[in-house]
Amino acid sequence: MTIDFNPNTKQGKRAIAAVNGLLLILIVWFGIANLLHIKPPAVHVAPMAHRSMPSTNAVDLLPQRHLFGQVQADMAVPTTDLNLILAGVFANSDAQDARAAISVNGEDTKLFGIGQTILPGVTLTKVFNTKIYLNNQGRTEQLDMKLEYPSLQH
């Protein structure tokens, strides 16, 4: 059996009217259902007293985790009294390849590597960008590079 939806025939007019009637019934039914829809009553919760508790938020805990290690404060390393001038440094990420250009007792500048003896009882232990650490008979001392030089006048 086929349904004729041709509006020029009697059967088509009845089919269209039936479909329109069903659509109207569905629209009214959904409208009434929405109007009569009873929502559950809102639950009112009394506010909690504010207590200061440690944060459990993972983001707040990140600084306490020291993901990249802890920063160590620079020890108070005394400046050396030796007659040395730090003329330059060749810092390197591999500490064993770092070098320092040092003038000893006003003589020509020489390159020294980590662990090399500069004077009897004095060895180079660390090279930084503008300073070096020396081991002077078991005591750590610092030699800074002179960053300001007086102007040369003739």
CATH number for the domain that contains residue 137: 2.30.30
Helix ranges restricted to H, 83-153: none
| 109-113 and 117-119 strand pairing | unpaired
Distance CA 102, CA 143 (A): 10
| Number of structural domains in the chain | 1
- Is 113 inside any structural domain? yes
pLDDT in tens, the chain (154 residues): 677 778 888 888 888 999 999 999 989 888 887 777 756 667 777 776 666 666 566 777 777 777 776 666 556 889 999 999 999 999 888 888 899 999 999 899 999 999 999 999 999 999 998 999 999 999 999 999 987 655 555 4
Closest among 78, 99, 80 to 89, alpha carbons compared: 99
- Is 91 inside any structural domain? yes
Range of the domain at 130: 84-144
- Is 76 inside any structural domain? no
